[in-house]
Structures are given as C-alpha cells and as structure tokens.
Structure 1
Amino acid sequence: MKLHVQLAIVLSLWAVESRCVTAKTRLLSPVQLSLFYETYCPDCRHFMMNQLCPTWLRLEDIMNISLIPFGNAKEIQNGQNWQFVCQHEEDECQGNTIQACMIHYLKNATSYMPVICCMESASSPLTEAQRCLQAHAPTEVLWDTIKSCVNGSKGNELMHQNAQMTNELEPPHNYVPWILING
C-alpha cells in the first residue's frame, strides 16, 4: 500500500476515534449526587451502607458526590457561634460535625467516601470515627486535626454552612435521606 493511502487511513481512523472520545465524554459526564443526611438516622445509614457506598465503589469515576451531614437538626445562634439540636441526640450532632470536618479536610469524595462509609457501617459511627480515618486516610489528615475542627470555630462554621444548604433546599426536604441528582 502506498504511503499516502496508509496516511489517509490513519487520519480517517484518528478522526473517527476522536469523535468517539468526544461522544463518550459527553455521554459520561459525571452525575452529581447530593445527599442530605444524619449520621445516626437509621434510614440514612441503611441507604449509605446498602446503596450509596456500594454504588460509589463501582461508579466513582462517573459520580460527583456531595455529602451534607445535618438533616433534621435545628440551629440556634448563640453570639458568634451556633448551637445544634439533632434529631438523634448529641451523638448525632457530634457525628455530623466529625463528618463535616472530614469532608472539609479530605476535600474530595475519593478521599472521604471510604472513611464515611466505614463510619456509617460501624455499630457506632462516633466511636469508630478515628479508626475509620486511620484505616482509610492515614496519611491525608490527622485525627488531631479533625478533633480541633470539631471542637473549634471551623466545625461550627461548617455545620452552619450545612444548615444553610439544607434550609435552602427547594422544595424543602421532608425527610432524610434527601437525595438530589443533578440538582
């Protein structure tokens, strides 16, 4: 085969392949999933353990996940800070804040999802938080950083942001887990 014919075939194949890549990229743009939840809510934990975490493990390359731990909690302003009252008592408020801090410091779902999935599959998310962090993100963030966040102004600020996002849902959430797909 002459060189110019071979070159024409290669260029044609390249053109077809580039169109396929473009089409595949368009078809597989990541799905945005936002989950509004509570760390101690039985329905939220069931959804995370049995649906979200296994699905994310299989499809993480085509999913963008945002976790917003707050749910049906209430916030009350107390000077410059906020106090939170959670549906499932103080442990849930603590768990929500721990997860908000983990999400903040681990920055992306690839880092925080294994930790959060570990916590939600444990008998007590609160008591297993440190173990889950050390097992799934041992070099990314220290437990002391999370504790400082939870007990300081950063954790309070993150929970207030989660409260605002939850309270701004349109339509308002009626229950948790509250799931948005692509907004």
Structure 2
Amino acid sequence: MGPELDRYSLEEMYPHMCGRKVGINLDKITLNTPYTCPGFAPRPLHQRQTGLDKLGAQCAHPPTWLAVTVYYESLCPDSVAFITRQLYPTWRLIGDYIYIKFVPFGKSKSNLLGGFNCQHGPRECEGNAIQSCALSLMGQGSPEQVEFVNCIMGSRQPLLVGEQCSTRSGVSWPIVSMCASSKEGTSLQLEAERQTKTLYPGPSFVPTITYDNLLDMYRGAGRKITANISTDTLSSCCNVRQRIEVMKLSETP
C-alpha cells in the first residue's frame, strides 16, 4: 500500500474495492483507499458515487455492532495479509464497534486416524491447534484474542512466537502447548472444522470472512469484495458515526 491515499467522504463516494481501510475523526467518517493498487485502476468519479437515498436509509438504522467472523489458516499468506494489514488496523480504529470471532481451520480436513490434513502441511495443523487452544482460554471476542492472533500471525515463524504472544495476552503457554497436543486440542479443531463447514460447501478461499453472517471470500490485496459486504461495511460506518455523535452530545456541558 503506497503512502499516498485517496480520501473520500462517505456521504459522497462509494468506497473503492481495493485494500479498504476505515478511518475516523469526530467530524465525519471517511474510507481511506490506495490511489492505486495491483490489478485495479481508480474508477471514474461517477462510478464511485453512491445513491444518497440508500445511504441515508442505512444511516437511519439504529446503531449496531458489526459481527466479523474470520475463517483462516495459521500459515496461509493471504490469512496473514488480511489479519495484519486489514483486520487489525481497522480493529484498532473501531474496535468498540466490531465483534471479531476467529476460526483457525480453513481448508484443513480431519482424517480417520484422529488427526488432520492441512493445506500447508503438519506445521500448519500444529499452528491451528495452538491458536484454537489459546483462543479458548480468552474471552470470546475480547481484545486479548485480537492481539494474540495479530501477534502470532504477524511473525515469520508463528510456531516459535506462540509463547511470547500467549504471555502478552495473559495466557499460560505451558497450558496452551499441552492443549494443542492433547485430545482437547483435537476436540477444539473438530469444532473449528464443524463451524467452517457450515459455510456450505466449505470455503473456496482462505481466509473467508463473514460480516453479520454475510459471506465474503477474501482474494488478496487489490481484489474485489462483494457488493453486499461493501454495503454492510458502509452501514457499519454510519453506525459508528451515530455513536460518535452520541458521545459528543454526552460530553457537551
């Protein structure tokens, strides 16, 4: 992502579909998007304009949380890119308004021997189990979970930083490590498989993300996100703005 950003007001522009990142200030909410990105030239102005009546109707909705579920793999490069470059920075900005659930499994499959076959080999199976175990010891949707996943996914050697990332999130590494190599870890991964397979017929891309149960298949930087998800993200930004306005009013003497 280049340092120069194209900045558009939500009231006027439809968000560009490439490398979207949400930015907030107290006056208005904007979407920051790269001026250029691989595979997509900036669209003409008239193609980015959104129907103000549709946006107005969305902004009139009561403020709600945006539920984000991420189905991913511990050693998947696209999973790493999405979590560390898109999800985590966005959470840092509007974490009070999004609820994130992590499901580390992806295209892995359980086998008849009681183990798992993973897309990036046995080390990924181990990494998935470590993350399932660590996440199970933290509050669902908690900041500790987000910080842990970003920490371990942001390392070039995620299996070697498990202890450091667990400790930072207040979780005992010996307990996590023991869980990952036990029946408990297997059980947690089987549950992750069950949840992943509810995305019938299973994820075509990893990571796969759902926003308030709307399906989006992340295809990497510079690729298109489905229109439904863009609309939902737009609506969530409106909700954030409403909450900010309420906060401003409550702070007025």
Which TM bucket (shorter chain)?
Answer: 0.7 to 0.9
Which residue matches 1:10? none
TM-score normalised to the size of structure 1? 0.79
Tell me if 1:127 matches 2:127: no
Does the Cα contact within 8 Å between 1:86 and 1:93 map onto a contact in 2?
yes
| Greater Rg over alpha carbons, structure | 1
How far off its partner does 1:171 sit?
A: 5.3
Tell me if 1:112 matches 2:145: yes
Which residue matches 1:175? 205
1:16-65 CA-to-partner distances (Å, cap 9, x unmatched) read: xxxxxxxx9x7332101011000100111011110011111111111111
Which residue matches 1:13? none
Distance across 2 between alignment mates of 1:171 and 1:53 = 28
Q: CA RMSD in A?
A: 1.5
Secondary structure in structure 1 of the residue aligned to 2:210: strand
Unaligned 5+ segments in structure 1 are 1-23
Identity of aligned residues (%): 28
Residue type of the alignment partner of 1:85: N
Distance across 1 between alignment mates of 2:171 and 2:184 = 15
TM-score normalised to the size of structure 2? 0.58
Tell me if 1:30 matches 2:30: no
Which residue matches 1:6? none
Larger fraction in helix? 1
The structure showing larger relative contact order (alpha-carbon pairs under 8 Å, at least 6 residues apart) is 1
Moved more, 102-111 or 65-74: 102-111
Which residue matches 2:220? none
Q: Give 1:46-125 correspondences, 5 Å limit.
A: 46-78=81-113, 82-108=114-140, 109-125=142-158
- Stretches of 4+ aligned residues off by more than 6 angstroms: none
Distance across 2 between alignment mates of 1:159 and 1:151 = 11
Does the Cα contact within 8 Å between 1:36 and 1:178 map onto a contact in 2?
yes
Unaligned 5+ segments in structure 2 are 1-58, 214-253
Residue type of the alignment partner of 1:84: F
> How many aligned positions are there?
153
Tell me if 1:42 matches 2:88: no
Which residue matches 2:196? 166
